[in-house]
Chains A and B, each alone.
Chain A
Amino acid sequence: MNTRRHLALAFALLLLAGTAEAAQISDLVQTNTWEQARRFFTLSDQSVRNALLGSLLLGISCGLLGSFVVVRKIALVGDALSHAVLPGVALGFLWNMSKDPVAIFIGATAAGLLGTAVVGWITRTTRLKEDAALGLVLATFFAVGICMLTMIQRLPTGNKSGIEKFLFGQAAALDSGDIQLMTITTVVTLILVMLFYKELLITSFDPEFARSVGLPIRILQELLMLLLAFAVVIALQAVGVVLVSAMLITPAAAAYLLTDRMHRMLILAAVFGMLSGALGSFLSFLGNNLPTGPFMVLGASTVFATAFFFAPRHGVIPRWWRLRSRVRRISRENTLKFIYHVLEGRGFDGEGVSLEELAERSRCTVDEARLLVQHLADHRLATLDRDRGGLLLMPEGWRVASSVVRNHRLWELYLTNMAAYSPDHVHEDAEKIEHVLGEQTIRDLERRLKFPDRDPHGKPIPNVREITSRDAAPTPGPQSGYRGRN
């Protein structure tokens, strides 16, 4: 146990050392990177502790609320809301000319909610669409905020430091008052999300159903907006107005690629949020307090990119791999089917099929046929044996070949007998479905068709069960498999 823990610690340090080195190479800092990293990880500094704690808190609340944003497809509402808080921040600052966390919190929340309300109002009362309404509210509110901010910056009073940090975020500027407020808000958010989890879930996925069971949709929507505003305001100081929306969207979108269950998505999104928050504050600290927000966003984007490529079910690479293996399986099955056809064409006389025969049947060149056969050989379905007349099917290959042919002919028979297709229209359809029919469906088809032995074109339907039971024989007998039927 103890060694394992040591190993984990060493590995973690190694990983972090890697990032530290990268930072050094890119010439981030004048001060000693290692010294900075040591200061960060020993948490000896109060400001480091605050920055890290703040990033974790904002990661949790943004991840949770962001999940609802992503599944409800209101990502750009989050964007508008986060830009709209800026005048509220400035007003909160003006309240008593200092960076008072509570005043800024109230001002920012109010401005954000006002912004979303105006968006709703514009879309309801004019013919402008939502995108235009979002864009104009976002930018106009932001402009009002910038006006006020530039006015504040010109003030002679010395206490205005920190207000410009709200644009790009500075986790190191968080003090214990901020952390207290952030903790309270995160806890309130957590409790509200847990209390109304079911209601929020239903209204997010099926508003019609929610209406029919009498849930107060309007109130729930307002609640969500309030919580969203909370999340934005919590993240405001560390991430900055401009990039807060990314902390809502990106971790949640990454989580969305990894799971189909809402509660897992919430947990994953919160974890990803914390991860990117911590990474962002670390890199910003390494870089001598470069703005934190962009680094957090990059951390979140890295998480998203990883999920985008490697997520087991929805990732691009696993999906591509599954598609590729399906395509190759179908190609193998088609080759086996052609070999079966060749053998059948000469009444299963003689064991081997020559490459030329296969090439002619599958309408390709001999070289291409050789590749197909090589592919079969790799999967131990057939061997090429010149002495015994060419291509020999191995037991498994013989089984697959005859089941594909059986699937094809059974389906043709089903379409002509039960679905009243004319026999000359069934081949194309059977070509596709022969690769996907499962055992259970085949049993069912056989039963419905009363265990037929001829397809609509008069060709025999191979009996796979008999063949499979004879698999134990070292040399598969195509003839015996076939003759067993008659």
Chain B
Amino acid sequence: MDSLIPSFDFHTVFIAPWTENFALFGWIALMGFLVTVACGLIGNYLVLRRMALVGDAISHSVLPGIAIAFLIAHSRDNLIMFIGAIIAGVITTLLIEVIHQRSRVKQDAAIGIVFSTLFAIGVILISMYAGQIDLDADCVLYGEITSVALEPRVVLFGMQTAPGPILLMGAVTLVVVGLIVAFYKELLVSSFDAGLAASLGIRPSLMHYALMSVLSTVVVSAFQSVGAILVVAMLILPAATSYLLTSRLSVMLGLSVVHSALSTVLGMHLGILLDCSAAAAMVVAGGFLFVLAWIFSPTQGLLLRLRRVDTTDPEDHKETSAASA
């Protein structure tokens, strides 16, 4: 039991990552932050559109796409991996629709069947061709953010810059931020009122598929660092936390960035403290932040509820805050 939790050393846990070990942990923190920000921003729209579990499904089912891309290209060629994963993501949405519409199986079961089948195919491919695929089955589940940060640096303009995956993730994050800024109004309207969006000339189905493609891209680029399941948490937790604290979309987006930054840093320290998977520790820290928001939220926290349980009807409050959102 003693060896389970390493002996606590303040310097190793809190100081060293920012000083002598910064060369490694700086990159880990940056990578974690980029992943959680990209996921968290997209996640806001998933939570508002009640599509959180579509994110779950896509994150599982891109695996066979990635595995097949590896087998074809025999390398971690990013472009082929992206193409494979996006094809897998599109196939997932199509299959769910087909099963749901062409049989009496309901949508929730259709989602479950499709993503588990694709994920199973991916795992089998990876374990059968373990020698040829540069991924192992455990890494599929929780990623290897530490090894990602140790990749060789990319040389740009004659200068050694960041490790390749971090540059890529940074680019993806920038694209996500850019898209959200550019289409802020369209996304806002179509998320809250599909009818109004259609009457304003915004095609809801177009927005849906655009969002799905961005989601697939983000999930794939996060895949190596955080794996297929933890990415679900990174998609949902920041948005869910900030949704408890505010009713304005712009504030919600901002708060989810704050949540991402905090959970990355806290998680990194937790990971060092417990000497466990860094990505999982970041999710645990994010979960902790969610619980804090759940308890102490100034508008709808558990504490608040306890105090005014006899004065206002909680359902009533729920309605008004949703309407003002």
B305–A125 contact, CB under 8 A? yes
Q: Which of A6-42 contact B (CB under 8 A)?
A: 26-28
B236–A135 contact, CB under 8 A? yes
B117–A138 contact, CB under 8 A? no
A-side interface mostly = helix
Among A50-58, A101-109, A292-300, A450-458, the one that faces the other chain is A292-300
Q: What per-residue 1/0 map shows which CB atoms of B251-295 lie under 8 Å from chain A?
A: 000000000000000000000001111011101101100100010
Closest to B287 in A: A140
A304 at interface by CB-CB < 8 Å: yes
Closest to A79 in B: B112
A246 at interface by CB-CB < 8 Å: yes
CB-CB under 8 A from A146, the residues of chain B are 141-142, 230, 276-277, 280
B284–A132 contact, CB under 8 A? no
Among B7-15, B100-108, B190-198, the one that faces the other chain is B100-108
A308–B244 contact, CB under 8 A? no
Q: How many residues of B contact A (CB 8 A)?
A: 68
Q: Which of B112-171 contact A (CB under 8 A)?
A: 112-113, 116-117, 119-121, 123-124, 127-128, 137-138, 141-142
| Bound complex: CA A164 to CA B280 (Å) | 15
B-side interface mostly = helix
Most buried by A among B111, B124, B287, B322: B124
Most buried by A among B5, B52, B279, B302: B52
Question: Could you list 26 examples of A-B contacts with CB < 8 Å?
Answer: A75-B108, A125-B294, A127-B300, A132-B46, A132-B52, A132-B239, A135-B53, A135-B236, A136-B287, A139-B229, A140-B283, A140-B286, A143-B284, A146-B276, A146-B280, A150-B142, A150-B277, A167-B141, A168-B123, A243-B116, A243-B119, A246-B113, A287-B128, A293-B123, A294-B121, A294-B123
Among all A-B residue pairs, the 8 with the closest Cβ atoms: A139-B233, A246-B116, A143-B283, A294-B120, A140-B287, A146-B280, A297-B120, A301-B117
Which residue numbers of B lie inside 8 Å of A, CB to CB?
Answer: 1, 3-5, 46-47, 50-53, 55-56, 99, 102-106, 108-109, 111-113, 116-117, 119-121, 123-124, 127-128, 137-138, 141-142, 229-230, 232-237, 239-240, 243-244, 274-277, 279-281, 283-284, 286-287, 290, 294, 300, 302, 305, 314, 318, 321-322
Which residue numbers of A lie inside 8 Å of B, CB to CB?
Answer: 26-28, 70, 73-76, 78-79, 83, 94, 122, 125-129, 131-136, 138-140, 142-144, 146-148, 150-152, 154-157, 164, 167-168, 242-243, 245-246, 249-250, 253, 256-257, 287, 290-291, 293-295, 297-298, 301, 304, 308, 314-316
